[in-house]
Structure 1
Amino acid sequence: MRSTPLHPVARLPEEWSASLAARGERSFTAKQVFQWIHRRGVLDPAAMTNLPARLREHLAAEGLGEVLTPERVHRSEDGTRKLLLRLRDGATIETVLLPSVSGPGSHAQLDADAAAALDDDEDDDAAAEAGAAPRVRVTQCISTQVGCAMGCGFCASGVAGLKRHLGAEEIAGQVLLGRAMLEEGEELRNVVYMGMGEPLHNYEATARSLRLLTHPEGINLSTRRVTVSTSGLVPEIARLGADFGGQIALAISLHAADDETRSALMPINRKHPLDELLAALRAYPLPRRRRITIEYTLVAGQNDDPAEARRLAKLLRGLPVKINLIPMNPIEASSLGPPAQERVAAFQEVLTQAGYSCFVRRRRGDDVSAACGQLVLLGAKPKVRRALG
């Protein structure tokens, strides 16, 4: 049983129906309210002009309004925009907009994570054939927590630990705001849960936000275009698969092919070691022709040897996966760093020769600390980590 009422932005249409019916409102007003919020992105009740004045007053009294405010926009030379957002309690989070020109051959311009959510381009191909100008396709990376409890050695988000979970309204609210801040010619096509925090550690709010973002009366994102990344919370992986029938794209932060190395990089491995995690991936109800994305951050001198690549190839054998290699992005809280380019290429070659689809993440937004692993809690004091273990 919920101890506090749902925030208006977090309510699904059936929940609006129940609450408004109790007030004697007509049945169709629930759909109207939901569409105002999630299809049109309007959070000011006074602007919901087709609703009765008494209902608009009620919505305002319930607290319907902006759940986060853009405080600063950092624009990268490559077009990436990192948004610093202020929450109602004063906490801050970050979300990232990654634009990429769509159309034939555009996969080469995308991060591998974005490409994982873009297995079909029929709409773009049809537009190209019709002579339409290519659209700028945007992937948004969103956060699910203020800080993070996972403590991964290559990631800045957990430097100060976990401060609090985000509510579903704050998670979905990032997408509502991101969509409103798109520039001319851009369209939001993909959402990846790869920002601050561990999405499955905040399962209830993450799941509700997924339902909000994919609801046909709202933004109506295809589940093919939404990816949830996890460090390996085994029970919640099973729960996500059961709750959404495997339709939500899954990305796994793996980063090592043996328990000793992975536990040094990622403390969660001590609770859910590789054999448990791999069993959960085999059990995930993946639809036909879909694959799990394996994220592997390459850390110089730690997990980047070709022998590690051979172990990884063996570990993943039989799983429908694509592999996303991520040369570590520098963070203030760690003296660890990426391997040389030749080392990355050698690692990729081993996996390619083993028959895997293997991408190397093209660094995006690193000049404004918007690249993978660089999103950080504002004001967090870094504690430099010089070695693993």
Structure 2
Amino acid sequence: MRSTPLHPVARLPEEWSVSLAARGERSFTAKQVFQWIHRRGVLDPAAMTNLPARLREHLAAEGLGEVLTPERVHRSEDGTRKLLLRLRDGATIETVLLPSVSGPGSHAQLDADAAAADDEDDDAAAEADAAPRVRVTQCISTQVGCAMGCGFCASGVAGLKRHLGAEEIAGQVLLGRAMLEEGEELRNVVYMGMGEPLHNYEATARSLRLLTHPEGINLSTRRVTVSTSGLVPEIARLGADFGGQIALAISLHAADDETRSALMPINRKHPLDELLAALRAYPLPRRRRITIEYTLVAGQNDDPAEARRLAKLLRGLPVKINLIPMNPIEASSLGPPAQERVAAFQEVLTQAGYSCFVRRRRGDDVSAACGQLVLLGAKPKVRRALG
């Protein structure tokens, strides 16, 4: 039983129907309200001009309004924008807009493209004839901080402060879309920002329904990726709730339990055999693949022998592998391997028959790259080399 009412931004059309019908409003009004919020991005009831004045007053009284505000925008030389957002309770989170030019003759790959790109793009033929445009992938957060404690990530340096509500998760996309520049379009959304999405399952699932609803932003499920460090029960739940339509990215980072447990404490609760069984059971549609995220940490998991173990571990799974040379963070003495080590690791996996990409670093100069999103004012606790 829900103890507090749903925030207006978090309500689905059928929930609006129930609440507005109880007030005697006409049946079509629920769709109008939802479209104002999620299709047009309007959160000020006074601006919802086709609604009766009494309803606009009611929506304002219910608290409909901005759920987060941009406090600072950091623009990278490569076009990446990291947004520092202030929530209503004063907490801060970060979201990142990653633009990439697409169209004829362009093969640019986003920082998050290897995870966000779908394997069966029905739009490919149409896009080949279209004029070049700037596609944007938005990386969004699901928690203030993070409880997972991974040794190479800045988001958890201060621990978990609180979960985000579905309105705050979806609100990042509403705001990000409003801040797009001329010629840009929001193409993909990746749940790879601050926090572990599946640790905040209810709000994450509701935000997915909001973002993909046909009366709202109407994002294709093929263009939404949820990343997880390996919460096995919630992986199964996500697969069941969405029929496997939501793209899945797994932060793996090691091919044996000892190394992975040292880098990622969650592995002690859900070791690799459990995680791999969950991936095999995930109801993935035909021609779709799971993205394996593998952060290469110098001296920890970057040996070619580890690549061979990884190739063996993943055999038989429909996967693509995204190698991420670790982005240095203040809270850790760990760092990335030399470029030659990265290339050697990739070569082993490519020769084993895997599609394997090396993630191009984006937004380093504004600390927007993978693993660098951190709470404002958090005091880092230095993490030493492992093992």
Task: Say whether the fold is shared (TM-score over 0.5).
Answer: yes
In the TM superposition, residue 108 of structure 1 has moved relative to its aligned partner by 3.9
In the TM superposition, residue 227 of structure 1 has moved relative to its aligned partner by 0.1
Distance 1:234 1:130, change over 3 A: closer
In the TM superposition, residue 105 of structure 1 has moved relative to its aligned partner by 5.3
Cα distance in 1 for partners of 2:170, 2:124 equals 30
In the superposition, the TM-score normalised over structure 2's length comes to 0.97
8 A contact 1:100–1:137 mirrored in 2: yes
In the TM superposition, residue 134 of structure 1 has moved relative to its aligned partner by 1.0
Q: 2:236 aligns to what?
A: 238
Cα distance in 2 for partners of 1:123, 1:277 equals 28
In the TM superposition, residue 270 of structure 1 has moved relative to its aligned partner by 0.1
Q: 2:248 aligns to what?
A: 250
Say which SS state the counterpart of residue 107 (structure 1) adopts.
Answer: coil
Cα distance in 2 for partners of 1:112, 1:80 equals 12
Cα distance in 1 for partners of 2:202, 2:123 equals 37
Cα distance in 2 for partners of 1:224, 1:125 equals 11
Question: Residue deviations 1:69-102, cap 9 Å, x none?
Answer: 0000000000000000000000000000000001
Question: Residue deviations 1:264-286, cap 9 Å, x none?
Answer: 00000000000000000000000
Cα distance in 2 for partners of 1:346, 1:80 equals 29
Q: Matched residues, percent identical?
A: 99
Cα distance in 1 for partners of 2:154, 2:120 equals 37
8 A contact 2:104–2:131 mirrored in 1: no
In the TM superposition, residue 294 of structure 1 has moved relative to its aligned partner by 0.1
8 A contact 2:114–2:291 mirrored in 1: no
Q: 1:144 aligns to what?
A: 142
1:219 to 217, 220, 233: 217
Say which SS state the counterpart of residue 152 (structure 2) adopts.
Answer: coil
Distance 1:371 1:251, change over 3 A: same
The 5-angstrom pairing of residues 184-195 of structure 1 reads 184-195=182-193
In the TM superposition, residue 47 of structure 1 has moved relative to its aligned partner by 0.1
Distance 1:131 1:201, change over 3 A: closer
1:168 to 166, 169, 180: 166
8 A contact 1:85–1:94 mirrored in 2: yes
Cα distance in 1 for partners of 2:161, 2:64 equals 24
Question: Residue deviations 1:110-131, cap 9 Å, x none?
Answer: 23545543xx699997797896
Distance 1:242 1:179, change over 3 A: same
Distance 1:379 1:215, change over 3 A: same
Cα distance in 1 for partners of 2:124, 2:297 equals 41
Does 1:204 pair with 2:192?
no
In the TM superposition, residue 362 of structure 1 has moved relative to its aligned partner by 0.2
8 A contact 1:112–1:360 mirrored in 2: no
Of 297-306 and 125-134, deviating more is 125-134
Distance 1:43 1:258, change over 3 A: same
Say which SS state the counterpart of residue 376 (structure 1) adopts.
Answer: coil
In the superposition, the TM-score normalised over structure 1's length comes to 0.97
Of 328-337 and 96-105, deviating more is 96-105
Distance 1:43 1:127, change over 3 A: farther
Question: Residue deviations 1:324-368, cap 9 Å, x none?
Answer: 000000100001100000000000000000000000000000110
Say which SS state the counterpart of residue 273 (structure 2) adopts.
Answer: helix
8 A contact 1:103–1:124 mirrored in 2: no
In the TM superposition, residue 106 of structure 1 has moved relative to its aligned partner by 3.9
Does 1:61 pair with 2:100?
no
In the TM superposition, residue 103 of structure 1 has moved relative to its aligned partner by 1.4
Question: Residue deviations 1:20-72, cap 9 Å, x none?
Answer: 00000000000000000000000000000000000000000000000000000
Question: Residue deviations 1:160-217, cap 9 Å, x none?
Answer: 0000000000000000000000000000000000000000000000000000000000
In the TM superposition, residue 104 of structure 1 has moved relative to its aligned partner by 3.9
Question: Residue deviations 1:305-324, cap 9 Å, x none?
Answer: 00000000000000000000
Say which SS state the counterpart of residue 123 (structure 2) adopts.
Answer: helix
Distance 1:51 1:135, change over 3 A: same
In the TM superposition, residue 138 of structure 1 has moved relative to its aligned partner by 0.1
Cα distance in 2 for partners of 1:133, 1:215 equals 28
Cα distance in 1 for partners of 2:232, 2:122 equals 36
Say which SS state the counterpart of residue 236 (structure 1) adopts.
Answer: helix
In the TM superposition, residue 386 of structure 1 has moved relative to its aligned partner by 1.3
Distance 1:347 1:135, change over 3 A: same
Cα distance in 1 for partners of 2:102, 2:135 equals 6
Q: 2:115 aligns to what?
A: 115
